[in-house]
Amino acid sequence: MSKVDVIMPQMGESIAEGTLTRWIKQIGETVERDEDLFEISTDKVDADIPSPVAGTLVEILVEEGATVEVNTVVARIDTEGGAAAPSEPQPSAQSVEDAPDLVPPVAAEPVTVVPAATPIQPPAPAPAASSDGPESREERIQSKSTPLVRKIAAEHDVNLADVTGSGIAGRVTRDDILAHIETRAAAPPDAPAAAPGTPSPAAAPIAPGQPGMMQVPIHGATLDIRIPAVPIREGDTVEEMSRVRLRTMEHMLMSKRVSAHVTSVNEVDFEHVVRLRKKLKPKFAEQGVKLTYGPFIMKAVIEALREYPILNASVDGTRVVYHRDINLGIAVAVADGKELIVPVLKNADQLSLMGLTTGANDLAEKARTKTLGFDDIQGGSFTITNVGVFGNQFGMPIINQPQVAILGTGVIEKRPVVVQDAMGNDVVGIRHMSYFGLSYDHRVVDGAIAAFWLNKVKDVLENFPEDVL
């Protein structure tokens, strides 16, 4: 029998775990390569995960509803077609979660185990089960919690038995342990620890004037941020953050800590693009495509990135990685504007104006209908966010790590500006104008280069070629 491990895939650069929501195949069933095997849900997307090989599903190591770290082995497939023996006991949840990270297998060969770049620390040993009766609640919690949860608990001297888990069968999740730590840290000095089952630090009143502490996970470590206490008064409403909101908080705080943020703003005359778009809209409509200003801006951004490739780069320690491909992240507001997701338009520099339009429209629709695949939200090299769609003049966005710059485009509206008439005289005219705000990482991008880049974008838009198709 030759078994191949199936792992929990990483569904984006900032995603550390996923929830296995449903097994599509069951033990003993055959599966073809690339046939859907199980469903997962993450902070960003829901997706069906295909089988890496053809064979028979012989072991399921992660139960439905469980949340595990990426690269965790969730199942094993026998590539020689053998079925699982009914009498053979299945591995426990603890044996799965204590396994080291593995790289995904390639083809139907025996799996080679390779340690991950940052191995999981060995979990604290769980208390031995008593032979006189069923295991205790503490033992059940220890056996169901992930290595990451046990590691966080050990770092902060938390007994997992004091935390009420919201996972399957009372399992303590990462959010449960972090909420417990936040509540304990925010409590006034000499106050008793928060009672088990406290749903959120925000749900427990905090004495006015007492400083609180919030621990934000950042790529396996924690960032301690001291925050002011928030007294909850009668009539106040307390709402838990969604998973997307929590991950956005984590990613944005990490970005502000990592990058030296600076923002430069330029004003762009859109009068030429407004007229050109009006001319092209019927041709695009014939193809069933809605033409917005977005693709024109993307074209200008691509030209500027070609001329100043330092803005299409990432920082790796003390090295600068210049990306060959221009993969544009396009920020999309979802959930009635309460959440934000950034799908990525791959190889945007190889697309025509029509290709940029259809590609961006497809990604935006997928984001709103929650049908993005994991490949749709990773690999971005530069991001554009349109704050103008909500009527804002301009924005100063936070860089989307590991990129080094992000462009915020403001509202395009008519304004009185000074222009020259046919005789070269200065006159006041009405033009469609917009402000563009570029936030960039001052570790590698200086103000002069940022200004040159913005000027290039401005020049392309104000002199957009008529034969764009």
pLDDT computed for residue 201 by the predictor: 40
* Residue 17 or residue 321, greater confidence: 321
Residue 414 has pLDDT above 90, yes or no: yes
Residue 123 near residue 100, CB atoms below 8 Å = no
Q: Give residue 453's region: left, alpha or beta (phi > 0; psi -120 to 50).
A: alpha
Q: Which two tokens stand for residue 336?
A: 């009635």
DSSP state of 65: T
User: Does the global pTM surpass 0.75?
Assistant: no
pLDDT computed for residue 71 by the predictor: 86
Work out the average pLDDT over 395-420: 94
Task: Work out whether the CA dihedral 330, 334, 336, 338 comes out positive or negative.
Answer: negative
pLDDT computed for residue 214 by the predictor: 55
**Furthest-apart CA pair in the chain: how many Å?**
100
- For the question of residue 442 being annotated catalytic, the response is yes
Domain boundaries, the chain: 3-97, 137-252, 260-462
> In this structure, are strands 73-78 and 221-227 parallel, antiparallel, or unpaired?
unpaired
Look at residues 239, 246, 173, 188 and name the one whose alpha carbon lies nearest to residue 215: 246
Residue 294 has pLDDT above 70, yes or no: yes
* Residue 420 or residue 278, greater confidence: 278
pLDDT computed for residue 165 by the predictor: 72
Look at residues 437, 25, 66 and name the one whose alpha carbon lies nearest to residue 265: 437
**What pLDDT, in 10s, does the model give residues 148-168?**
677 678 777 888 878 877 654
Active-site annotation holder among 236, 325, 362, 446: 446
What is the pLDDT confidence band of residue 267, given thresholds at 50, 70 and 90? very high
Q: Which two tokens stand for residue 40?
A: 């997962």
Q: Which CATH code is given to the segment(s) 3-97?
A: 2.40.50.100
Compute the distance between CA of residue 219 and CA of residue 253 in angstroms, rounded to an integer. Answer: 12
Residue 108 has pLDDT above 50, yes or no: no
What is the residue-averaged pLDDT of the chain? Answer: 77
Compute the distance between CA of residue 66 and CA of residue 167 in angstroms, rounded to an integer. Answer: 7
Active-site annotation holder among 325, 442, 459, 467: 442
Write down how long the chain is: 469
**What pLDDT, in 10s, does the model give residues 351-390?**
999 999 999 999 998 888 888 887 888 899 999 999 988 8
CATH of 260-462, one of 3.60.21.10, 3.30.559.10, 3.40.50.2000, 1.10.274.50: 3.30.559.10
Look at residues 439, 431, 330 and name the one whose alpha carbon lies nearest to residue 389: 330
- For the question of residue 219 being annotated catalytic, the response is no
